[in-house]
Amino acid sequence: MKPMHGNGGAAAPARPAPFQPVAEQAQVEAYSSEIRQLARERNAIILAHNYQLPEVQDVADFVGDSLGLSLEAQKSGAERIIFCGVHFMAEAAKILNPEKRVFLPHIAAGCSLADSISPESLEDWMERYPHHTVMTYINSSAEVKALSYICCTSANAVSVARSLPSDKILFTPDRNLGQWVAHQVPEKEFAIYDGVCPTHDVLRGANVKKTRDEHPDCVIIAHPECRQDVLELADEICSTAAMLEKVALYPETKTFLVATENGIVHQMRKRYPDKEFILADGCIGCRLHCPYMKVTDLSHVLRALEEEVFEINVPGDVADGARQALERMMAVPRD
């Protein structure tokens, strides 16, 4: 069979037919079984974010949010981590597991939010707010983390802010998450950087209201990267992992409007097959779609195992600084 990717002239191993964007079930099964076998042979763990393609989620050993994936990477005894997510997540896994080899299956899996803040722009804000403690969302580069006192995820941001001894916080880089945290922690003063996740920021309250009007008995679950006008309409505001738990709190509710990237709906439907999950913009895959999360398909996961690409490494001094910020976060007990 003709391989999809070059392998430097070595004899091509037999593998399933080239992967198509809309995968046939037989092809998914062929790729998945080869991936699972290679992962065993190479002592690799496959981690997938909740926003990945459904078939990538299904082939993974663990599916979760940024915090869950970081914790899983730390406790795994595997020699290799295949990180099906975006670059900053694989970087965080490497920083927390320097002895393991970490691979990102697709080199173009970046993040607009992480790219919205550079070390130079953070230093500029730090000069403007010299008495503020820098608290940085995990959706950021290793260099930016290394300049920060502490990291947070959407799952623990409120607990992290409350835990800080300082009453002045410079929150970076997500403006919407920062404003939501500031609202939960009114006893502290926040300066908030002006980055956003375009996948979440594009959603407007008016779209959510329109969709809700079509499903008047629904429960709205939103990610805190959404704008304030969306969050004001939400019944639950939480990380993707917590969204899966929150559904169980509404046994009488049939329909849920989901205000986050569409990949989470796959896990929701698996866990709650009797419920109905609708994207909050009423348009599956149109706006609530992260192009970076969706570049990785099963052929890339297979190639990562076979060809050991793309290995993520972080320079020692940067990794040390970023690790401190991440470990401070992980030491904070959840409220």
Kindly tell me which of 28 and 329 has the beta carbon lying closer to ligand SF4.
Answer: 329
Q: Which residues bind ligand SF4 (CB under 6 A)?
A: 51, 86, 111-113, 139, 197, 199, 261, 290, 292-293
Kindly tell me which of 78 and 177 has the beta carbon lying closer to ligand SF4.
Answer: 177
Kindly tell me which of 52 and 133 has the beta carbon lying closer to ligand SF4.
Answer: 52
Kindly tell me which of 108 and 331 has the beta carbon lying closer to ligand SF4.
Answer: 108
Q: How many CB atoms lie within 10 A of CB 65?
A: 25
Say if residue 215 is exposed, middle or buried (CB neighbours under 10 Å; 0-12, 13-18, 19+). middle
Least distance in angstroms from the C-beta of 88 to ligand SF4: 8
Least distance in angstroms from the C-beta of 253 to ligand SF4: 26
Least distance in angstroms from the C-beta of 209 to ligand SF4: 23
Least distance in angstroms from the C-beta of 306 to ligand SF4: 26
Least distance in angstroms from the C-beta of 324 to ligand SF4: 23
For the chain, what's the residue count?
A: 335
Kindly tell me which of 39 and 111 has the beta carbon lying closer to ligand SF4.
Answer: 111
Least distance in angstroms from the C-beta of 171 to ligand SF4: 15
Kindly tell me which of 86 and 102 has the beta carbon lying closer to ligand SF4.
Answer: 86
Least distance in angstroms from the C-beta of 193 to ligand SF4: 14
Kindly tell me which of 67 and 86 has the beta carbon lying closer to ligand SF4.
Answer: 86
